[in-house]
């Protein structure tokens, strides 16, 4: 949890001050990023009610993780502006999608052009990504990973090595060649195969050695990056980062985690007999969706959620893990690139509806999302988390003041 956002980059409080590790994680999902963006606006509003209008999400989370569209949101929430404050307020995130998505996902209404674009996906990406790339260059500029206002974790996948490449603030000390531009990282994590082209860029270490990256969507590695973020913290503790003392590598009882999904449709079903007749085209496009992408995104996200549900329950810390996901998307709402005004307005409404829905968990037997009795709504839980985040931030600020006064007394 950053005590105060600063353009000097992510930093931690002194060892004796750390009692909680606070993590925000945002799934991938294309245009459906509007759903978590709407929820984040609510959370930041609650923090501002407690600590004033200048409060921003980056002030309260030790780690912000995001994949694909979640990676874009992560960059927007943690990149500094010219005043050393977050580039975007959470209330502006959904508006960003609404304003720019029609040009990112250049959609036309004419049937002939729709058919042409679908056919194009057979031999090339559906979109060229030029507008998205220009947009990210304009907003993120020369900001590199080490300048974020709190620690970030953004997964990508390197097709040259067939390995995940995780851009993490925690790794920069040992892997300085990962200190890439946030714009390059954002382009890479959102380069969904068949939708956008892979992204290539190079970095240099302090000795001038070059490192090449050939990257695609982080959803291939971790569409739900929550566990990835927790592992990065644990690894940093194992490597001896004293700032986490006395938290131990597996001391997840001190982790407070909010994990936001971009929605899914559990009611969509595919029949093996029918799918046995599918060719490449049907796996890529079926009734306005991309079955193969939906499947690996859902599988990746659900496995993480199920594992974390088990972990936090086993540690009797279920109250420290809040997963907010909507599993009843239908029609255009299930698309990752339908940016019609009607659909985007629908996604905003879904995000607001989620706030009023009761907290849910994955049923370990069926994989279905079911309500948790007696816990209340997502809005009520986010309000509770906001209060704990605020209390922790104030505690750290007070500890810092006491430490500074003590140091000055010793100097005298």
Contact 257, 320 (CB under 8 A): yes
User: To which residue do tokens 């001038």 refer?
Assistant: 208
CA distance 129 to 233: 33
Cα–Cα nearest to 64, from 186, 150, 170: 150
Strand partners, 83: none
Q: Let me know: does 210 contact 204? Beta carbons within 8 Å.
A: yes
Q: H-type helices in 110-197, by residue range?
A: 111-123, 130-140, 182-189
The pair phi, psi for residue 293, each rounded to 5°, is -70, -45
Q: Are 294 and 29 in contact (CB under 8 A)?
A: no
> Quick one: which of 193, 183, 196, 154 has its CA closest to 171?
154
Residue 143 has, within 13 A of its CA and on its CB side, a CA count of: 27
Which residues have a Cβ under 8 Å from the Cβ of 26 and sit 6 or more positions away?
33, 36, 40, 64, 65, 66, 67, 69, 70, 71, 73, 74, 225, 260, 262
Retrieve residue 213's tokens.
Answer: 């990256």
The closest alpha carbon to 370, from 358, 355, 354, belongs to 358
From the list 25, 68, 300, 335, the catalytic residue is 68
- β-strand pairing of 210-216 with 199-204: antiparallel
Q: Which two tokens stand for residue 210?
A: 């070059």
Are 258 and 103 contacting, i.e. CB atoms less than 8 angstroms apart?
no
Q: Quickly tell me which residue has 């010793």 as its tokens.
A: 410
Report the DSSP pairing between strands 199-204 and 163-168: unpaired
Is residue 68 annotated as part of the catalytic site, yes or no?
yes
224 CB-near residues (< 8 Å, 6+ apart): 25, 27, 67, 259, 261, 300, 301, 302, 304, 305
89 labelled catalytic: no
**Catalytic residue, candidates 62, 89, 158, 217:** 217
In sequence order, which residues have a C-beta less than 8 Å from that of residue 410 and are 6 or more positions away?
A: none
What end-to-end distance do the CA atoms of the chain give, in Å?
A: 31
Residues that are catalytic: 68, 217
């Amino acid at each position: 949890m950053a005590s105060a956002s600063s353009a000097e980059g992510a930093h931690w409080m002194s060892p004796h001050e750390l009692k909680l590790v606070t993590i925000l994680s945002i799934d991938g999902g294309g245009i459906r990023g509007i759903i978590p963006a709407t929820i984040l606006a609510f959370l930041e509003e609650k923090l501002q009610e407690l600590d004033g209008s200048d409060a921003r999400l980056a002030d309260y989370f030790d780690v912000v993780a995001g994949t694909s569209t979640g990676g874009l949101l992560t960059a927007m929430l943690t990149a500094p502006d010219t005043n050393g404050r977050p580039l975007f307020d959470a209330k502006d995130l959904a508006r960003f999608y609404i304003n720019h998505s029609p040009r990112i996902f250049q959609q036309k209404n004419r049937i002939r052009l729709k058919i042409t674009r679908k056919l194009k996906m057979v031999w090339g990406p559906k979109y060229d990504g030029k507008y998205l790339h220009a947009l990210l260059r304009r907003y993120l500029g020369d900001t590199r990973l080490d300048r974020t206002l709190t620690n970030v974790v953004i997964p990508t996948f390197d097709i040259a090595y067939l390995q995940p490449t995780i851009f993490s603030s925690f790794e920069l000390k040992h892997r300085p060649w990962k200190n890439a531009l946030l714009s390059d990282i954002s382009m890479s994590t959102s380069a969904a195969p068949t939708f956008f082209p892979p992204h290539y860029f190079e970095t240099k270490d302090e000795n001038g050695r070059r490192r090449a990256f050939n990257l695609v969507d982080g959803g291939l590695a971790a569409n739900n990056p929550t566990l990835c973020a927790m592992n990065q913290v644990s690894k940093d503790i194992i490597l001896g980062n004293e700032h986490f003392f006395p938290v131990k590598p597996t001391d997840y009882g001190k982790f407070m985690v909010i994990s936001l999904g971009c929605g899914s449709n559990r009611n969509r079903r595919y029949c093996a007999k029918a799918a046995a007749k599918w060719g490449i085209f049907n796996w890529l496009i079926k009734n306005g969706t991309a079955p193969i992408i939906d499947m690996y995104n859902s599988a990746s996200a659900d496995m993480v959620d199920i594992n974390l549900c088990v972990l936090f329950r086993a540690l009797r810390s279920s109250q420290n893990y809040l997963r907010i996901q909507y599993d009843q998307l239908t029609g255009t709402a299930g698309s990752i690139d339908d940016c019609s005004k009607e659909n985007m307005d629908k996604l905003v409404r879904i995000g607001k509806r989620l706030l009023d829905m009761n907290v849910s968990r994955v049923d370990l037997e069926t994989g279905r999302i079911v309500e948790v009795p007696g816990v209340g709504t997502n809005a009520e839980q986010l309000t509770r988390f906001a209060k704990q985040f605020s209390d922790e931030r104030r505690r750290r600020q007070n500890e810092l003041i006491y430490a500074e006064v003590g140091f000055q007394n010793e100097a005298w």
